[in-house]
Structure formats: C-alpha cells, structure tokens
Structure 1
Amino acid sequence: MPSLINAPLPPVRHYEAAPLTKERLEYVDLPIIDLSSFTASADPDVRTHLVAQVRSAMAEYGFFYVLNHGLSTAQTERMFDIADIPFSEVDDDEKKKYQSKLKETGTQQGYKPRQYYHIDNGIRDQIEIYALNHDVNKSGHPAVLQPLLPEIERFAYHNHVNVLYPILRLLALGLDLSEDSLVELHKWEDISESYVRYPRSDEEEEKTNNLWLKGHTDIGSLTFLYSQPIAALQIRAKDGSWKWVKHIENAIVVNAGDAIEFLSGGLYSATIHRVVQPPADQRAYTRLGLFYFLKPLSSPFLQRTAECAEAPTMAEWRKGRTKSYGNAELKASAINLGVEEEYLNGVLIKHYV
C-alpha cells in the first residue's frame, strides 16, 4: 500500500465505509478543481482558467471539490483507518485523560466529548471529536495512536504544503494579489486535524428536526473535508434552501470560513453549512469525518463592518468562537425567520436551523 512516509506501516484495522445512499437527494452542483493542472502547468491560459473557476466557486458557493490532490485512494483510505482509531480502539477512561479544555482555553486539542453542544429543545449533540495539532508532539495522545503519529504528521504536512498552498495561490490571483500573498499569512503553525463521528436516538432526532449541527460558518480560512459516502452535509443556497453535498471518491471538499471572508473583504464569503441526519438507508452506519482545519494566527482580520471599531485577531476570533459554539445563549433574529444570533468581538454571528 502507498505510504505518506518511507517506512514500514504499522498495521491498523480497516475502516469499512458505508455504501452510497439510494435515496434521491437534491444535491448542489459544486465546481470541481483539478489541482494537478495548476501545479503541473506553466501554460498561462490554464492558470487563468483555474483562477477564474476558483473565484467563481468562492463567490457563488464558497465550496468546491479538489481532485488530483496528491494522495491515492489507498492512501486516503489508510488515513480513514487511522481516523477511526481514537474512537473504536480507545476506552472511555483513556478518552477522559485526553479531553480537550474547550471553555478554559478556546482550543480543541484532544477529545470533545458527546453532549457538549446544545442543539435545540434541550437536546445536546452526539458528536465526538478527536483533534490534534500538526505538531503531534505538542500534546499527549492515547497509546494506540503513538506508532501512527509520524504518518499523521506527514498527512498534515501534505495537506498544508501540497494542497493548501496551491489553493491559496489561486485565491490570491483571483483577488489580483501577488501569488504568495495569502501563503505568507498561512505559515506552518497551529493547524489541526479532527476525526469526527455521530450517532443519535430517534426521539432526539424528532425533537431537533433531524438537525445535528446548526447552520454555521467555520472559524478559520479554509476547511478540507475528505469526502466520505454518508450523506449528511448540506449547504445553504442563496435562496435559503438547503442542498446536499454529494460524495466523490477521493475528493477533498473545500469550504470558505470566516478568516478568508475577512481577508478578502467579503469577496470570498464564508459558507453557511450544516449537518443533518443521513438518509434512512445509511442511518445504521457511523459517519466518520476526516478534516483539516486552517487557523492562521499571524494575521489580523480586516474590519468586517463599518460599525466594527476594532477587528479581532485570528487568535481572539478562534478562541472566542470555540468557547461559545454550542454553549452561547442565542436570540431569535427579529428579521430573519429560522436564524439565531449572537455577538462576538462586535461581530454578528448567525446560526441557521
């Protein structure tokens, strides 16, 4: 099997992904970016076309797929195998030793336990997360993960240098900036991968209208989600409807977060998305997510609104949103039906149901 490192691979149990749903869902038609055509081509026409394609995708959706990102299907499957280990092979007592201190520190390193976020009508979430920094030695990890840390670190490095940097160059060119201007704001620091899965009872589904995570925007600049078969992710279209994100084998789903909206002056909008209960034929399966979150700490945000007297730094924004998410007291919008609001650092944050 291909490897992210040039060494024999520790054996891991294979994670068996769910079959595709047979239900007819209303999918969003997201653009597909062939990353290899940018990194391998010196043809200015090819680059110009890709820049226009990414600019359009960010302006219209804030979401797009990336193919030919440098990892084979076998390598990606191996990372899903590793991603399942913190949940399936670590007992509850050991998980408590590595539980993250979200409220105290505003960082999500280690385990986020189930029932931490309030969803609706007194129902709390069943989402379990294991997050780690790209510097895998920055904190401790369960014993079963120790032999796999070099592989995880190389995975993070690949995402950062071979996937993120080309995308940032495309985004910068789309803003008529120098090619490396956004790369300079995303140094190899404070990045994390999160491994996530979700189960819940029928009664709780009914009380929350099958909503697992309210519509929200991500904290950082970009989020990479390695596509997996269980349908649960939806994005909010401009007409207010919710559309499903379709699975594409070995694709990365890229979405824009708050930081890229701030840094681009709003040209690239942070995308509103949510997670809902999967279709009936997939509900017996556990949804496992493999994410790479980008959290640039080195740059201040541009002011988001004229009323915002002082823009927050990325660190302030990240920690504030991490502490408040799922725990803040939200108020129903007086203007928009189905929208709940809170203020953080003088910036209005909306949650969508």
Structure 2
Amino acid sequence: MPGTTIPPVPHYQHAPVTQEDLDYADLAIIDISKAKTPEGRQELAPLVREAMRTYGFLYIVNHGLTQAENDRMSDIADIPLSHVSDEEKANFVGKIKEVGSYRGYKPRQFWTIDNGVRDQIEHYNMHRLIFNQQHPKALQPFLPELRAFTEHNHYNVLHPILRLLALGLELPEETFVKLHNFDAEGETYLRFMKYFPRTDDDESKTRNVWLKGHTDIGTISLLWSQPVTALQIMSPDGKWRYVKHIPNGIIANAGDSLEMMSGGYYKATIHRVFQPPADQRGYSRLGLFYFASGDDDVRILPLEESPVLKRVGIVRRCADEDAPTMGEWRRARTKVYGLSELQRKDDVVEEQIVNGLVVRHYN
C-alpha cells in the first residue's frame, strides 16, 4: 500500500527562549503516561489534587506526541492567522456577542483591555469535531490532522486528567469523564491564537498587561507550551509569577466550572498575559489551546457525594437551584468578556455580574 502523504505547510519560527532571570511559579510536572495503569493513577492522583488545590496549574509531559508532531501542529496553527486574506476571514468571524460562541475568528481590537486600549489578539476557534463547521480554504487540507489532534487532546490528555481529579475527590474514576463526551453538545474547542506586539503608548496605558487577570470559563484548559514567556499566574501568596516554557509540554489549568463542581476544592486560578521580557519583544506569540467544558446540559453543581467534600465542606458560588448549565455559563461569559463595563472594587479587582454570579478581573 502507498504511504500516506501529508500536505506541506510553511514553517512558523517561534521566538528564541528568553535568557532573562525571571520569577517562575513552582508548578508540578505530571508524567501523564503513568495514568495508563491503576498503579500510576494512584501515584499521580495526590500530585494532581495538590496542584489543583493550590496553584490550579500544572505541567503535563509524555503525552504521546513527539516534538516533531508538536512543531507541525504549530506550523498548521499559523495557517488561518497568517495565510488567509482579511476578505476571506470576514466570512468566518464568530458570533461572539450575538450567540456567545467563539467558533470562527475573533478579530484583533475586538476587546477593550484598559484605558481605551483595544487588544492585539487574533484567534481562530474550531469545534472539537472539526468537520461540523466551515473553514478557510487554506486550512482545509489539514482538517484530518486537526481532528486527530483534538481527539488526542480529549482522550489522551483531558480524560486522564479528569480521572485523576475524580480520584482526588475520592469519587469513581469516570465521574468527570462521563460529563465530557466528545460527540455531545458543547463547545469544547481547539483555538489557534496569536498575540501581536503593541505600541509603547498601549503598553504604558495598560501597565504592560496584554490580557487582564481572569479565570477560564470551562473545566480544564490545555495550553501547548510555546517559548514566548508572557503567561503569569497569581500565586497563593498573591504575587504574579511567570509560567516557564517546557519544550513539548502542556500547561493545564482549572476553570470556573471545575471549581464550582468541586465545591471550591479545586481552584480556578487567576492568570494573565503580560508584556514578554526584553529579549522577546517584537515577536508574535502563537499558541495552541484546547478549552474543555462539560456537555452543554450538565448543571454546574457541587459533587456532594464526594467523601472529601463531606469532610472539608462545600463552598458554593450560588444556590443549587440557581446553578447554570455548562452551555448557559459558557454563552453568558463569552457574550460579555471584554465587551461590557466592569465595576472597579479597588486598585486591583474589577467585577461584573454574569447570570447572577460575580466574575472578577484583576489588573
């Protein structure tokens, strides 16, 4: 049989790794290959539990893709951002404010960051099934690879992490997995996102913040590590610290939905994007993300049956009868993010009310 021929793709050149001495967060590194056996899951579960209780962030390694496969996916990620005309992009702009879906393009300068400064972030979002939406012509030869990539993220990275999180709550391993079905209704999606350099004036007006401190909407976010050092998390001591680049690693973090389902046990950690260090300024920052949410009809309720929660207690964001579904929460937050007025509470915290729940932003 003839071998499979993959289409050629222009190479995307990332920035060199920074040589600056930065204050990095001390995050756990999880060898996800160990999660294939019951013994490995028992070893990893306490590590994941502690990481998600404190930082809400961790690194994942040995996930099953080689560096070369990672590099090719990074090359493909730049196709919809750099190799599609503005005229064609206009046909695929997402209905973000209208229906609360990121599917398609989010153009640059769509959000307000601070002091009237608009964002310099463009991203292209694909539903995890890939083939159930239209795509720009330049991306179409790569759709089978994108589908394989979303399946890999879902089954080989997300599901193992969800099993470890369930074990951390002393629940059956499949508790969270059963709520994250690949073929169910929901907007778990793949995102290709590029941050473009900004003017000195914009940097001054925003105090070098490219994306305000926030928590993610869904359950687990997966960011394929790339070398431009700009992601910062708010550490438990209240200080912002950088997240270090790990070649062929994945950065995983908990979102609001996981925090609410775990009764506050796992933390949706506050993170932001900050101006890169001096030796990386002038470079674009291209990222690959897999943003997971539970099935659309899943109500975001604390898992009261957890023996752990019975011991430590449950912290609720709202009364159970007011808890939104995954779909309701995602659409509500998507519609207003970066588009609605925030109420300043102090020098750091700004708030907005979404579906009756307080959502905080940190500057």
8 Å CA contact retained: 2:301, 2:320: no
Q: Structure 2 length normalisation: TM-score?
A: 0.92
Q: Residue 337 of structure 1: CA displacement?
A: 3.4
Unaligned runs of 5+ in 2: 303-315
The one-letter code sitting in structure 2 at the alignment partner of 1:149 is L
Aligned to 1:272: 270
8 Å CA contact retained: 2:53, 2:265: yes
Aligned to 1:299: 298
Summarize deviations over 1:138-191 as a string: whole Å, max 9, x none.
221110101100100110001101111111110000001001011000011432
The counterpart of 1:153, out of the listed 131, 147, 157, is 147
- The RMSD of aligned alpha carbons is 1.3
The change in CA–CA distance for 1:48 and 1:135 in structure 2 (over 3 A counts) is closer
Aligned to 2:167: 173
Please state whether the residue corresponding to 2:132 is helix, strand or coil: coil
Distance in 2 (CA, whole Å) between partners of 1:28 and 1:197 is 23
Q: Residue 7 of structure 1: CA displacement?
A: 2.7
Write the mapping of 1:119-268 to structure 2, written as runs, cut at 5 A.
Answer: 119-188=113-182, 189=184, 190-199=187-196, 200-268=198-266
Aligned to 2:75: 81
Aligned to 2:13: 16
8 Å CA contact retained: 1:300, 1:314: yes
Please state whether the residue corresponding to 1:93 is helix, strand or coil: helix
> More deviation in 6-15 or 231-240?
6-15
8 Å CA contact retained: 1:308, 1:346: no
Q: Residue 308 of structure 1: CA displacement?
A: 6.8
8 Å CA contact retained: 1:227, 1:249: yes
Summarize deviations over 1:45-80 as a string: whole Å, max 9, x none.
x43221100000000110000000010111111100
Distance in 2 (CA, whole Å) between partners of 1:211 and 1:47 is 38
Aligned to 1:3: none
8 Å CA contact retained: 2:318, 2:357: no
Summarize deviations over 1:237-284 as a string: whole Å, max 9, x none.
122210000000000000000111111111001110000111111112
The counterpart of 2:56, out of the listed 58, 62, 77, is 62
Q: Residue 338 of structure 1: CA displacement?
A: 0.6
Summarize deviations over 1:283-334 as a string: whole Å, max 9, x none.
121100100010222310116335575111111110010010001110111x
Please state whether the residue corresponding to 2:151 is helix, strand or coil: helix
Distance in 2 (CA, whole Å) between partners of 1:319 and 1:305 is 18
Distance in 2 (CA, whole Å) between partners of 1:149 and 1:17 is 23
8 Å CA contact retained: 2:7, 2:141: yes
Distance in 2 (CA, whole Å) between partners of 1:123 and 1:42 is 50
Q: Structure 1 length normalisation: TM-score?
A: 0.95
The counterpart of 1:348, out of the listed 331, 338, 358, is 358
Please state whether the residue corresponding to 2:30 is helix, strand or coil: strand
8 Å CA contact retained: 1:58, 1:256: yes
Aligned to 1:94: 88
Unaligned runs of 5+ in 1: 1-5
Please state whether the residue corresponding to 1:137 is helix, strand or coil: coil
Please state whether the residue corresponding to 1:341 is helix, strand or coil: strand
The change in CA–CA distance for 1:227 and 1:103 in structure 2 (over 3 A counts) is same
